[in-house]
Amino acid sequence: MSTDSPVNSPDKFESNLGKRLRNFLVVMVAIALSVALVLGLRTETTSVTLAKLSDTSIPLDVAISNGKPSLVEFYADWCTVCQKMAPDIAQLETEYADKMNFVMLNVDNTKWLPEMLKYRVDGIPHFVFLSQQGETIAQAIGDQPRTIMASNLEALVTGSSLPYAQASGKVSKFSAPVAPTANQDDPRSHGSQVVN
């Protein structure tokens, strides 16, 4: 019984070394991707959300009465424009937190229906700029670039006229849930009070 090639030939050694090197590289790449994935998920969970902005929001009644100007934002969790603007609003809130109030009102909460009607909210995000006395100075609707919002907030804090008042950008349509009341004193009922 004779064999043509020895068991531990140099070709077989190089083949094993190549496999080990390849396996080592695959393991290293897998570890690097795992670390990147974990860090990416951790970074994503710390990003600014509308819920976080709402949690840090000043209540509307406090904002109107505390002697500071206010920015009121009507938003909804499903509003993509609102979500897109959340990081910019968070940065502006950090920058101006000691000078003014930031109020977040969710349009899906019917508690805010009187305010939605008062400010004629028909698209979101809808921003209302209030003076120190709680009076409406200006409104802006839709996607607002950070620079425009910063200019408006700076003017609001200094008491100047807002350079970009009545600005409109991309909006998410919204209709306030207005339900008719069963009031017999309604002049549009045309004779419903008449009893035969």
Q: Which residues are catalytic?
A: 79, 82
Task: Report whether 141 contacts 127 (CB < 8 A).
Answer: yes
Task: Report whether 142 contacts 173 (CB < 8 A).
Answer: no
Q: What are phi and psi of 104, to 5 degrees?
A: -115, 125
Question: Which residues does 48 contact at the CB level (< 8 Å), separation at least 6?
Answer: 86, 87, 89, 90
Angle at CA 150, nearest 5°, toward 147 and 153? 155
Task: Report whether 56 contacts 93 (CB < 8 A).
Answer: yes
Structure tokens at 6: 């020895």
Q: How far apart are the first and last CA of the chain?
A: 122
Alpha helices in 46-170 (DSSP H): 50-55, 60-65, 80-96, 113-118, 146-158
Considering only CA atoms, give the Rg of the chain. Answer: 30
